[in-house]
A and B are shown apart, each in its own frame.
Chain A
């Protein structure tokens, strides 16, 4: 039993306890991923007032995604609200994604999210300007915390695990993530954004069951469970420092997209000046996608042309890309 398994077994998986332990680990080479390579699109967008729908269409085209006839679920990152910083996926990115997926022939485009800490989802949506900015928000949005659920067998070693029916019914789940540092995981991007599809009405606020499975293990299990996915990471203004809630805004001026969420997140890490091979959930996800830069086909901008170090709290300074 390694230290992680012992801590989880001993009940240390309550936030603030388990992750408070020393995090550094011996760097080991991340295994090669699946055969072939993955396309990741990096497109510049300096502000939320630019034509984001055209950029998302361009990213979808560059990554070869066919959305025709599909039921699409947009999963933004709606966590908390603080007017002094930028915690959530910007409403303009959601509006643009709605327009882009509709224009590319999706049969249905819905929005769903289940915040991990706050129970008043619609109040959060109000604060984040989702209700004011997104046309027909109430009819498009499902609070995944309180949706009807169905069981899935053998998720993360659990005989039965429940997911919202809205998620299970989607042909394509689009992770509309925010580019942020994270005080448990190092960085939160498109893969970790799937924590929000676990229903609070079954697992609570926070979804403590995921802590007991292990945060990196849960991130990977969710991405293993849901494979029909696409990522759009809002890095127009990201968050650095003590993310994912108490950090400070960091304009990176990019949207990062792709069908391989591992490759998208590895690319985002490199843009942020974080070594993706030191992010544990990316290491564990190496069989799902590509972490190594040599196996990622960069479309649009290069990483070097948009790279800008995100500030890291001292506990995570070891993640800095050499």
Chain B
């Protein structure tokens, strides 16, 4: 699902790509289950976080049918399992030796698990795109909560890792790719809230050797109106479809705009 979804975004409205994108959309649509969720591949029976990618793609393609509506509903039904009464009670009485904030609802990789940065950020993009055609107080609340969760899980060095900034009072470092993903999900938040992480993203982009991280950071910075320069602009073809698609999205002329979510839910 992921390589196909990102390739579809990268190829959207590119000359000669229409037939391939239509075929890919039919394939991804065939992976949707009756509960609205979408499977990560034809070999897997249950839906996962890739439902968010399906919703984003649907709105990029201008599709807003009942199946998309069910997928949006599914995203609204799913929440990280750590946000429950027992955990909030533990946290309130300081019974957890952790700095993890469990007071906000985000999204898990799989239903029944805890919230993490990537699935939450991808779902924020999907729901912000859905807000125009599926407006509801519930959707707006989930977006606010999801953003609050991402903000609460920032690492002490300014960026984000998978979603766990501290273990046993030892601060954990952030990851450049997670920082990019989080910033994509946080589009629309105030400059003051994002000044430090945007600074971290700029720094990471010059320091990291990871092509995947450079791509996500490029997408994030461009979505936030910046025009980063550097090695990612060099012409190259990544050996991996998903990476090639993300690098294409991050290019100055790339389709990173499709992940922009300027309007607030």
Nearest CB on B from A160, distance (A): 6
A16–B98 CB distance below 8 A: yes
| In the complex, residue of chain B having the shortest beta-carbon distance to the beta carbon of A19 | B167
Chain B residues near A209 (CB-CB < 8 A): 109-110, 113
Q: How many A-B residue pairs have CB under 8 A?
A: 140
Q: How far is A217 from B140 in the complex, measured between Cα atoms in Å?
A: 39
Q: Which of B67-114 contact A (CB under 8 A)?
A: 80-84, 86-87, 90, 95-100, 102, 108-110, 112-114
Q: How far is A122 from B99 in the complex, measured between Cα atoms in Å?
A: 32
Q: How far is A12 from B89 in the complex, measured between Cα atoms in Å?
A: 11
Residue B48 at the chain A interface, CB threshold 8 Å:
yes
Nearest CB on B from A147, distance (A): 11
B49–A204 CB distance below 8 A: yes
Q: How far is A127 from B211 in the complex, measured between Cα atoms in Å?
A: 12
Q: Which of A3-53 contact B (CB under 8 A)?
A: 6, 10-17, 19-22
Q: How far is A123 from B98 in the complex, measured between Cα atoms in Å?
A: 31
Residue A318 at the chain B interface, CB threshold 8 Å:
no
Chain B residues near A16 (CB-CB < 8 A): 98-100, 164-167
Q: How far is A172 from B251 in the complex, measured between Cα atoms in Å?
A: 44
Q: A14-B114, A16-B164, A17-B100 are in contact. Are A160 and B210 (CB under 8 A)?
A: no
Residue B41 at the chain A interface, CB threshold 8 Å:
yes
Q: How far is A123 from B208 in the complex, measured between Cα atoms in Å?
A: 10
Listed residue (B2, B119, B162, B172) with the most chain A CB atoms within 10 angstroms of its CB: B162
Q: A123-B209, A160-B45, A313-B168 are in contact. Are A201 and B108 (CB under 8 A)?
A: no
B162–A149 CB distance below 8 A: no
Residue B25 at the chain A interface, CB threshold 8 Å:
no
B167–A12 CB distance below 8 A: no
Chain A residues near B240 (CB-CB < 8 A): 122
Nearest CB on A from B241, distance (A): 10
Nearest CB on B from A100, distance (A): 29
Chain A residues near B51 (CB-CB < 8 A): none
B81–A148 CB distance below 8 A: no
Chain A residues near B84 (CB-CB < 8 A): 10-11
Residue A202 at the chain B interface, CB threshold 8 Å:
yes
Chain A residues near B86 (CB-CB < 8 A): 6, 10-12
Nearest CB on B from A204, distance (A): 3
Q: A11-B84, A12-B87, A120-B213 are in contact. Are A204 and B167 (CB under 8 A)?
A: no
A17–B113 CB distance below 8 A: no
| In the complex, residue of chain B having the shortest beta-carbon distance to the beta carbon of A117 | B162
B: contact size bracket: 35 or more
- B106-140 Cβ-contact flags toward A at 8 Å (1 or 0): 00111011111011000000000000000000000
Residue B43 at the chain A interface, CB threshold 8 Å:
yes
Q: A17-B82, A17-B102, A205-B118 are in contact. Are A212 and B113 (CB under 8 A)?
A: yes
Nearest CB on A from B262, distance (A): 27
Overall SS of chain B's interface? loop
B162–A11 CB distance below 8 A: no
A: contact size bracket: 35 or more
Partner of B48, one of A13, A20, A118, A202: A202
- A282-322 Cβ-contact flags toward B at 8 Å (1 or 0): 00000000000000000000000000000001010000000
| In the complex, residue of chain A having the shortest beta-carbon distance to the beta carbon of B48 | A202
A151–B113 CB distance below 8 A: no
Residue A208 at the chain B interface, CB threshold 8 Å:
yes
Residue A162 at the chain B interface, CB threshold 8 Å:
yes
Residue A155 at the chain B interface, CB threshold 8 Å:
no
B110–A123 CB distance below 8 A: no
Nearest CB on B from A6, distance (A): 8
Q: How far is A119 from B84 in the complex, measured between Cα atoms in Å?
A: 29
B116–A208 CB distance below 8 A: yes
| In the complex, residue of chain A having the shortest beta-carbon distance to the beta carbon of B83 | A11
A20–B41 CB distance below 8 A: no
A20–B98 CB distance below 8 A: yes
Listed residue (A14, A19, A123, A202) with the most chain B CB atoms within 10 angstroms of its CB: A14
Q: How far is A6 from B243 in the complex, measured between Cα atoms in Å?
A: 40
Chain B residues near A150 (CB-CB < 8 A): 43
Nearest CB on A from B216, distance (A): 9
Can you identify 20 A-B contacts, CB atoms within 8 angstroms?
A: A11-B87, A12-B90, A14-B115, A14-B164, A16-B99, A17-B87, A17-B102, A20-B100, A119-B212, A120-B210, A120-B211, A123-B209, A149-B41, A150-B43, A205-B109, A205-B116, A206-B116, A212-B112, A212-B113, A313-B168
Which B residues lie at the A interface, using CB under 8 A?
2, 40-41, 43-45, 48-49, 80-84, 86-87, 90, 95-100, 102, 108-110, 112-116, 118-119, 161-168, 170, 172, 175, 177, 209-213, 239-240, 243
Which A residues lie at the B interface, using CB under 8 A?
6, 10-17, 19-22, 117-120, 122-123, 126-127, 138, 148-151, 160, 162, 183-184, 201-206, 208-209, 211-212, 242, 245-246, 313, 315
Top 6 A-B residue pairs of the complex, sorted by shortest distance between their CB atoms = A204-B109, A14-B114, A10-B86, A20-B98, A20-B97, A11-B81
